[in-house]
């Protein structure tokens, strides 16, 4: 009877969480921002130290969060073909290097200032460096800018960041596991070998991977793709390459109509489990730890808004000033990847507990500021131009 009662309570709590997420997601899109901040706030409200702590969904939330990360990265990989990745790297590597230098440095500086050591510094470097592909793509689509001249530069830079993450995450995973320098270098070497092999397979034999997963029956197709993603992610995690990277690489290897159908079928699952990922991160963060680091989060947000705008300005350097400003503003948003990185570090127990609080506050700010910056950049630029231009 006790088990039945516990199950009933868990179902009630889980149903309330899902329904609440639906309401929050609808509210977010109505006001024109990403739902990520609302999902994080929901997790904070119902986690340890929150308004109404929920304890019956902890195990499910953790596993659902892991699946959410895998699906986020799988669908991100499905957006790119191997040829697009190679072309994007060739086109965007100078801006990509500038992106790393300008946007990873503030995270390193804050972590060292707070005494979190080298592992904390490397973790925060990733949190502040990588932009949110999901938020940026949504905002560009909503604003009708997918056909703008600066948009290919923005997308190329996002491709560079995604590939940089494929190298960064194995390094971070090895450091979090307490690996030696040799172990860390080994993890990087394995990661680079795996990435190279997958890109070669995708370029030369991608159609065979797609054929192996494809099926005219939607149920069979869903089971094959989802099963392959979980298997590859698990094997990648065993090899210390990171489950997220494994899913991303599988997505790259799938091409053509198979990739299109997989994206269409998996998007609802991704949205569901990704929402649970953000909730799970919030559940594990005590709201009482946020006020002490809120000032650092605000300062970090102010600095990295400026550095991302500078990155986009440089990436679109051959275009007009307005196009360069739009490119910079489009890159401001941080979101899913930043929380993935912070989540890896916190779950490993290798960093200060305040890092989760700082990352949560920072992503809350940046996920809101990103869409706002993209929307106001043109009116602000036009206003400044009118003020600067002398009247005749």
pLDDT digit string, tens, across residues 327-352? 999 999 888 788 888 888 887 776 77
Answering whether pTM is above 0.85, one says no
Place of tokens 């991302």: 308
pLDDT at residue 278 is higher than 60: yes
Paired tokens of 313:
């300005």
**What confidence score (pLDDT) does residue 184 get?**
60
Percent of the chain whose predicted confidence (pLDDT) is above 70: 85
196-243: per-residue pLDDT in tens? 776 677 667 777 888 888 888 989 999 999 999 999 888 877 766 667
151-180: per-residue pLDDT in tens? 888 878 887 887 788 778 877 877 777 655
* Domain made up of 2-378: CATH architecture: Up-down Bundle (1.20)
The residue among 304 and 166 whose pLDDT is bigger is 304
**Exposure letters 208-237 (e unless 16+ CB within 10 A, then b):** ebbeebbbeeeeebbebbbebbbebbeebb
Helix locations, the chain, DSSP H: 2-31, 36-46, 58-78, 82-113, 117-129, 133-142, 151-176, 181-213, 218-238, 243-253, 256-283, 291-315, 321-330, 336-348, 354-388
Q: What is the DSSP string of 244-303?
A: HHHHHHHHHH--HHHHHHHHHHHHHHHHHHHHHHHHHHHHTS-GGGSHHHHHHHHHHHHH
**What confidence score (pLDDT) does residue 129 get?**
95
Average predicted confidence (pLDDT) for the chain: 82
pLDDT at residue 86 is higher than 70: no
Place of tokens 């699946």: 67
pLDDT at residue 94 is higher than 80: yes
Paired tokens of 218:
């939607």
Paired tokens of 11:
């179902």
**Angle value at C-alpha 326, between 132 and 154, nearest 5 degrees:** 45
CA-to-CA distance for 323 and 337, rounded, in angstroms?
26
Dihedral over alpha carbons 28, 29, 35, 39 (to 10 degrees): 50
On whether the CB atoms of residues 173 and 148 are closer than 8 A, the answer is: no
In the chain, where the domains are located = 2-378
On whether the CB atoms of residues 273 and 74 are closer than 8 A, the answer is: no
Nearest to 163 by CA among 63, 69, 96: 96
């Amino acid at each position: 009877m006790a088990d039945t009662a516990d199950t009933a309570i868990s179902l009630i709590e889980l149903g309330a969480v899902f329904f609440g997420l639906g309401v929050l997601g609808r509210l977010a899109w109505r006001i024109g921002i990403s739902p990520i901040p609302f999902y994080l706030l929901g997790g904070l409200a119902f986690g340890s130290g929150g308004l109404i702590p929920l304890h019956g969904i902890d195990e499910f939330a953790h596993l659902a969060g892991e699946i959410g990360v895998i699906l986020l990265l799988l669908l991100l990989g499905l957006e790119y073909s191997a040829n697009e990745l190679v072309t994007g790297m060739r086109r965007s590597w100078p801006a990509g290097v500038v992106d790393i230098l300008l946007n990873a440095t503030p995270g390193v500086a804050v972590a060292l200032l707070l005494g979190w050591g080298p592992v904390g510094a490397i973790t925060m470097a990733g949190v502040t460096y990588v932009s949110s592909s999901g938020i940026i793509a949504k905002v560009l689509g909503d604003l009708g800018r997918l056909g703008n001249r600066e948009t290919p530069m923005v997308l190329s830079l996002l491709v560079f960041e995604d590939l940089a993450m494929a190298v960064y995450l194995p390094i971070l995973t090895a450091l979090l596991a307490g690996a030696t320098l040799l172990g860390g270098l080994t993890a990087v070497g394995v990661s680079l070998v795996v990435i190279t092999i997958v890109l070669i397979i995708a370029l030369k034999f991608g159609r065979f991977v797609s054929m192996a997963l494809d099926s005219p029956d939607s149920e069979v197709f869903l089971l094959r793709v989802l099963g392959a993603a979980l298997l590859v992610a698990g094997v990648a995690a065993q090899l210390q390459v990171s489950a997220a990277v494994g899913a991303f690489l599988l997505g790259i290897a799938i091409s053509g109509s198979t990739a299109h159908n997989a994206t269409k079928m998996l998007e609802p699952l991704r949205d569901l489990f990704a929402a649970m990922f953000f909730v799970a991160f919030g559940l594990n963060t005590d709201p009482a730890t946020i006020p002490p680091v809120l000032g650092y989060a605000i300062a970090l947000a102010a600095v990295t808004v400026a550095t991302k705008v500078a990155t986009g300005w440089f990436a679109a350097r051959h275009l007009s000033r307005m196009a360069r400003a739009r490119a910079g503003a489009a890159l401001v948003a941080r979101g899913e990847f930043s929380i993935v990185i912070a989540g890896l570090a916190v779950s490993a127990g290798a960093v200060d507990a305040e890092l989760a609080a700082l990352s949560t506050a920072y992503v809350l700010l940046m996920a809101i500021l990103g869409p706002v910056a993209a929307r106001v950049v043109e009116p602000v630029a036009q206003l400044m131009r009118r003020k600067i231009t002398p009247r005749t």
